[in-house]
Amino acid sequence: MSAQDSSIEKVVIVGSGPAGWTAALYASRANLNPLVFPGRAASSDVLPGGQLMLTTDVENYPGFPEGITGPDMMDLFFKQALRFGTRIVADKGIATESEVGLYGQFQNAANLDLSSSPFTITGDNDFECKAHSVIIATGAKANWMGIENELRLAKSGGGVSACAVCDGALPAFRDKPLAVVGGGDSAVEEATYLSKFGSKVYMIHRRDELRASKIMAQRAIDNDKIEILWNKTLIDVLGDDHITAAKLKDTVTGEESTLDLSGLFLAIGHTPATEFLNGQLDLDAKKYIKLADPYRSTTNIDGVFAAGDCVDSVYRQAITASGMGCKAALDAERWLADKGIE
Residue ranges in contact with ligand NAP by CB under 6 A: 145, 181-187, 189, 206-207, 211, 233, 267-269, 313
The residue nearest ligand NAP at its CB is 184
Catalytic residue list contains 75 = no
Nearer to ligand NAP, 124 or 309 (CB): 309
Q: What angle do CA 175, 178, 184 make, to 5 degrees?
A: 135
First to last CA, the chain: 15
166 tagged catalytic = yes
Least distance (Å) from ligand NAP to the CB of residue 215?
8
Burial class of 141 by CB neighbour count within 10 A (0 to 12, 13 to 18, 19+): middle
Which of 166, 310, 312, 326 is an active site residue?
Answer: 166
Q: In angstroms, rounded to a whole number, what is the distance separating the alpha carbons of residues 105 and 12?
A: 18
Burial class (CB in 10 A: 0-12, 13-18, 19+), 112: buried
Least distance from ligand NAP to the Cβ atom of residue 336, Å? 34
Q: Count the Cβ atoms, other than its own, within 10 Å of residue 224.
A: 7
Catalytic residue among 124, 129, 163, 326: 163
Closest to ligand NAP by CB, 57 vs 189, is 189
Taking the complex as a whole, the smallest distance from the CB of residue 28 to ligand NAP amounts, in Å, to 33
Shortest Å distance, C-beta 197 to ligand NAP: 19
Q: Which of 57, 167, 185, 312 is catalytic?
A: 167
Nearer to ligand NAP, 196 or 334 (CB): 196
109 or 163: CB nearest ligand NAP: 163
From CA 139, how far away is CA 329, in angstroms rounded?
A: 16
* 163 labelled catalytic: yes
Identify which of 267, 265, 225 has the alpha carbon closest to the alpha carbon of residue 243: 265
Enzyme catalytic residues: 163, 166-167
